[in-house]
Amino acid sequence: MLLSEHLRALCDKNRSLQAIHNNSSPYEEAEPLLKKMLQQSVSQSKKKSNGYRYMDQALNNFCPNTYILGGRWLYKIVHGNFKGVFPSPRKMGKRLAKHQTFIPEGVVNVEGLKEYLTLHNLPMMVSLSEDATAAVGKDSTTPNGLPNWKDSVINSALDAVRMFSTYKRATVLIVVMAQPMGDGIPPIRICSFGSDNTFKTTDELKAMREMLQLGVVQRTNSEKVFPGNSCPWFVSKIDKDAPIPVQDTIHEGAKMRTRLLKDQKPMPFGNKIACRENLVALAGLVTKDQHLLQERDLLPEDKMNYDAVGRLTRPELRDLLKKYVPGSEGTIFYLKLMEYSTTSYLDKQMSPVYRIYSLWFAVFAVRYWRYCMLCDETYPLAKHFFTSNAYQCLEGNAPSLVLIELRLQELELADLFLPFNFGSQQCET
């Protein structure tokens, strides 16, 4: 670029900055937030860093939101690239700390939850979710089965020695979140504690579930559809007033996708099979703007690719398979089962009746598929069916969906039937 062009660009930039400073017309149509950032940058440009003042209320509200949603490292990058616009990460951390309430490990913050619901005028009904993440911590319990946070207080080296000699070292952090019944309302953490991730009948996770009265789905052999012990019903035994359990639907979809992508274990549906090759063939026959699949969507190693489930379960993808890939009926049907198993909970526009229809369509189809495989030793169930964990999650979620709808109708709260709020994704935040 010529020197004259450099100078012209600098002159244009100077005029733009002067226009903002004088509230002139060139930036009148700029977005309010961007405009405030530019104005703040100009006003602070001649000051030293210790003389920066942050008086714009809109930016002061934007800063903590960025810190909370993106984390400290993202905020640090933003702060470093917008000198004088955002307070330092240290100042922002101190500001947020003033609004945080300390919750000791293993304590259920019921009062905080009640205050949160009351403050935002929300119904006194929540969805509880629980998940674990790798962590370094401690593990000691109280009589109610939850960790005793007082044992983690270290006042001397002897306390540290006592801790590590008495208790097992925690390898995961268990987090319990409460999701209010509303679309777009953030969840609130009500409990967290460390664990060594080995749970027995006396361990804290079971005790916590009993204390919070989380229901369980049990398998029973008392009623059978088929003779012998080959295919018993799954029955949901939940007391009338007990909370209703739901397995995370996003993880269910990911498990079903991972099973489809295992080349060495095709899944038979009668004289057809569901397999990854059909999808690979389709990707080579039609353009990407039609199938919308990404290369990593068909990689079995990428087990955490949740977005791929939405692309694989599109009805349009099944139409393309039917049109361009002969013999893909098994894959088409399996993708339909994936769609019905996930959208019944996750689709925000679906009616309650169609949610129940879709999920139970998948359950009855999988039950019949499983029974057919049990009747034919050609394809062993352990190798050619999907995992027992995914199957039991599907069987458990189906009756739970019905029970939730019936209970809300009894309470005359049918408008709170929002299944997309049920799951453990709230713990990912």
Rounded to the nearest integer, the mean pLDDT of the chain is 80
Locus of tokens 């109610």: 144
Q: Which tens digits make up the pLDDT trace of 46-98? A: 788 778 888 888 888 888 888 888 888 888 888 888 888 888 888 888 888 87
Residue 169 per-residue DSSP state: P
137 - beta bridge partners? 170
Contact 334, 295 (CB under 8 A): no
pLDDT of 279 over the 90 cut? yes
pLDDT in tens, 345-399: 999 999 999 999 999 999 999 999 988 888 888 888 888 998 888 888 898 899 8
DSSP 188: E
Distance CA(32)–CA(256), nearest Å, equals 45
pLDDT average, residue stretch 406-411:
90
Q: Is 177 exposed, middle or buried (0-12, 13-18, 19+ CB in 10 A)?
A: buried
Is the pLDDT at 227 greater than 60, yes or no?
A: no
277 burial (CB, 10 Å; 0-12 / 13-18 / 19+) is middle
Q: What percent of the chain has pLDDT over 90?
A: 31
Q: How many secondary structure helices (H) and strands (E) does the chain include?
A: 16, 7
Coil, helix or strand for 173? strand
Domain layout of the chain by residue ranges: 3-91, 110-212, 219-428
Q: Which residue has the tokens 């905080």?
A: 112
pLDDT above 60 (res 224) = no
Which residue has better confidence, 71 or 336?
Answer: 336
- Closest by CA position to 399, among listed 232, 246, 181: 246
